[in-house]
Structure 1
Amino acid sequence: MEDTRLEKPGFKEALRFWIKLGWISFGGTAGHIAIMHDFLVGQKKWMSNSRFFHALSICMLLPGPEAQQLAIYIGWQLHGKKGGLAAGILFVIPSVLILLILSVIYVSYGSLPWIYAMFNGLKPAVIAIIIIALFKVGQKSLRGLLHYLIAGLAFICIFFFNISLLLIIAGSIAIAIVIQYLKPDLLHGKSKIKSEELQEEKGYYINSLSVEPDHDFKIRTFIKQLSIFLLLWLIPIGLFYFIAGEFIFWKQLTLFFTQAAFMTIGGSYTVLPYVAQFAVAKLAWLSKMQMVDGFALAETTPGPLIIVVGFVGFMAGFNHFQGSLLMGSLALLVTVFYTFLPCFLFIFVGGPLIGKSHGNETIGGVLKLVTAAVVGVILNLTLFLGKDVIFPGGVTLQHLDLIALAWVAVSLFLSLKFELNVVYLILLSLLFGLIRYYIG
């Protein structure tokens, strides 16, 4: 078969996107998926739709933030290890810097109304971004009645019964296995669809025919990667042992967030309750109200919501060292380092397995149902966040925020009709929030 793929994108061009993504990736996982899918699949055709969602589905089964792991995987696919490192590191650096600044402001001056007003102006635009993501993801991933049923079932489970994302994914996998055993044709679809999809794949740089950068799983490579990970893990805690005082605190901080990174599966929404319970109730690093404030601060930053652990680390260091901004800042950086370090290990070690599993019909069928369930989860996120933005005082007509609703409509219009760049939409929305604050 003739290979008509696009030429390999230059590393500098990809680097510019990873830098931009770190600053504009608002809206949680759904927002991250929307931006990456629109640019990498829709605009640049660097990765086909099937490869994108196959990788996303597997990343959702791994511990840690799935959107960052997806970025690492795509960066690794495009430019090897350096591409994966660049994508993963640049994905979180902007949110770390912004959260550090906001944390210092929080403990020094309390909440600044105009800062929150700016990001309140951004929230309607984020809702618009998520709505567009819902439409695009649904259009690409819902390919039959079964997929629509799974998406609807996932939405019902999470919206009405508050069932965790992890259980929804596990349920989708279980349903897929049963269908594979009873009626496999229903899971895989007809050969005509497969043929059409294969033809479409040929227009992308990374497609179903692509070979992984390191396509063979080798024990020697695994041991080398694991050794590098362990060395990176030991360096900071070793320095604290020999240089810093209060080693017990730093050891506790390190072990807790390493454990959180490895033991919590299902993304930010499973990590955060675990962190909140232990950090507040058992370790007493911060108060319950400070934890709530931390969620609010994290929501105003780009990047994954799990970045709120940085605020937890900041408050732990700040409170433990009697109000030291320096120790609080250092604790924030240590927390982020140990929370996100395992993500690189998971992808670099498991990346070849992700690629090899793409051609497997059974795994592919199972993961397509997982992706369909994700559509239902994104719909729930759209309504969950949209409700608080458009009806801030409760879902009644008297609490309807017409200005926020209008800005959602304006954002949709600018994005769909004029294809306004997300960066400009975000800047415009921040200005809108500031103007609204001073006028009203």
Structure 2
Amino acid sequence: MTETPPTLAPTTLAPTLAGLTRAFLAVGILSFGGPAAQIALMHRLAVEDRGWLDEGQFLRALNFCMLLPGPEAQQLATYIGWRLKGWRGGVIAGGLFVLPGALVMLALSVAYVLFATSPLIGGLFFGIKAAVLAIVLEALIRISRRVLKQRQAQAVAVAALLAVGLFALPFPLVVAGAALAGALLFAAAAEAPPAAARPAAAGLWPAAIAALLWLAPLGLIAATLGPGHVLFEIGAFFAKLAVVTFGGAYAILAYLAEQAVGRGWASPADMLTGLGLAETTPGPLILVTQFAGFLGAYRAPEPFAPLAAGLLGAAVTTWVTFAPSFLWIFAGAPWLETLQANRRLAAALQGITAAVVGVMAHLAAWFALHALFAAVETVRLGPVRLLVPDPASFDVRAAVLAAIAMALVFVARRGLVATVAIMAGLGVLASLI
């Protein structure tokens, strides 16, 4: 069965598949700095340098991707490839956006489990954890200034913070509640008349194949190892997470960290380290999920050797996390204009975005407590859950490094990569004292 790619403007010079491959391999290798930097890199490539899209097409695509669950930068890459070369272009562009960073993260995961007990390597990771606190706090302040301009948005953010932090409500439930609140509070009017939609038939069969391939590994694992095996548990958890990650990776990090710790896959220190590694490697920040999946399988490896199990855990996690992005683009991109014309849908997204700020505040508190105190106890008072640190377990070295990281970010205005590099060096120095 053949596919007709979307029609391009007459002035657009469509690349060959080989040219598209080279371009997005370069994007994947250079995609440091989080989604803002990654989107800017693709804008320069697709709009300014190559003329593949005009400004309006690029912005409409970006807005559409921000409506979807999952990493918006990867979805934007997939959309650009789809628009230029159909589903083959989408697979190439979206896949190459993720692959280099995934390979780097995999190598760092292996190094972490093999060499973290070395004083030098352990000190390096210790410094990275301190940098994470400053990075998360800076992101929280930046996003809250942009999002919480209305009292309704502030109320949604506070409600999300209480729901996650005090009542431990499941993250999917918080997302659903925030979407409903947004649709009720932020919609200025009833739904606008939908714009004319491009026929969706061209996207249905690639979307159907993407859906089958997305869940195929879970079926294979269940048939061979059983649904109780850690690889199935990892795959099922991250597949569920993939469909509720609205608002970027920071939105689900607290939920991910608590679930990974609660399931015995990782420690709080592991999750701090994983986030620091994901912040400073190319590719989406959500690659921190791969780190958690690797550790979960590595620490419960039967019937495999630990390293082999870790590699399988990383592969399953990466697949179920990123494969849905292809599904959303192939199925939804033909309806781009119609979806964006729906004001209720846009209002629901605004509610989710406000809730992300509250969830990020909980994330910052959770990471800070576990970075600065060696012992943190969960105390339950009826439906309320409190995290109570043991004052005797306060880590002075971690506090000093965190203060230095804060100064680098908020006073010296150092960039993300420079901050992590400096703190890694200071962590090594601290390990030698």
> Does TM-score exceed 0.5, indicating one fold?
yes
Does residue 219 in structure 1 map to residue 221 in structure 2? no
Instruction: Specify the alignment match of 2:339 in structure 1.
Output: 357
Does residue 155 in structure 1 map to residue 132 in structure 2? no
Question: Which of 333, 344, 348 is matched with 2:329 structurally?
Answer: 348
Does residue 89 in structure 1 map to residue 89 in structure 2? no
Shift of 1:334: 4.2
SS of residue paired to 2:277: coil
Q: Distance in 1 between matches of 2:366 and 2:228?
A: 38
Q: Distance in 1 between matches of 2:168 and 2:217?
A: 41
Does residue 311 in structure 1 map to residue 314 in structure 2? no
Instruction: Specify the alignment match of 2:404 in structure 1.
Output: 406
Question: Which of 230, 236, 248 is matched with 1:259 structurally?
Answer: 236
Q: Name the CA shift for 1:297/1:151 in 2 (closer, same or farther; >3 Å).
A: closer
**Is the contact between residue 54 and residue 367 of structure 1 (CA under 8 Å) also seen in structure 2?**
no
Aligned partner letter, 1:349: F
Describe the superposition over 1:384-424 as per-residue Cα deviations: whole angstroms up to 9, x where unpaired: 22343355664869766234213321232233xxxx44323
Shift of 1:325: 5.7
Q: Name the CA shift for 1:271/1:168 in 2 (closer, same or farther; >3 Å).
A: same
Does residue 374 in structure 1 map to residue 380 in structure 2? no
Q: Name the CA shift for 1:261/1:329 in 2 (closer, same or farther; >3 Å).
A: closer
Identical residues among aligned pairs (%): 12
Q: Name the CA shift for 1:169/1:185 in 2 (closer, same or farther; >3 Å).
A: same
Question: Which of 298, 303, 316 is matched with 1:320 structurally?
Answer: 303
Does residue 422 in structure 1 map to residue 416 in structure 2? yes
Aligned partner letter, 2:295: F
Shift of 1:186: 8.6
Q: Distance in 2 between matches of 1:336 and 1:13?
A: 26
Shift of 1:434: 0.8
Shift of 1:374: 1.0
* Structure 2: tracts of 5 or more residues without a match: 1-12, 48-54, 83-89, 246-251, 279-284, 376-388
Aligned partner letter, 1:156: L
SS of residue paired to 1:383: helix
Shift of 1:368: 1.0
Instruction: Specify the alignment match of 2:28 in structure 1.
Output: 18
Q: Name the CA shift for 1:335/1:101 in 2 (closer, same or farther; >3 Å).
A: farther
TM-score by length of 1: 0.65
**Is the contact between residue 180 and residue 351 of structure 2 (CA under 8 Å) also seen in structure 1?**
no
**Is the contact between residue 19 and residue 91 of structure 1 (CA under 8 Å) also seen in structure 2?**
yes
Question: Which of 101, 111, 123 is matched with 1:101 structurally?
Answer: 111
RMSD (Å) for aligned C-alpha atoms: 4.6
* Structure 1: tracts of 5 or more residues without a match: 1-6, 26-34, 60-65, 189-208, 241-245, 281-287
Question: Which of 64, 72, 75 is matched with 2:74 structurally?
Answer: 72
Count of aligned pairs: 363
Shift of 1:49: 8.8
SS of residue paired to 1:320: coil
Question: Which of 312, 320, 325 is matched with 1:331 structurally?
Answer: 312
Q: Distance in 2 between matches of 1:233 and 1:158?
A: 28
Q: Distance in 1 between matches of 2:162 and 2:356?
A: 12
Q: Distance in 2 between matches of 1:237 and 1:166?
A: 23
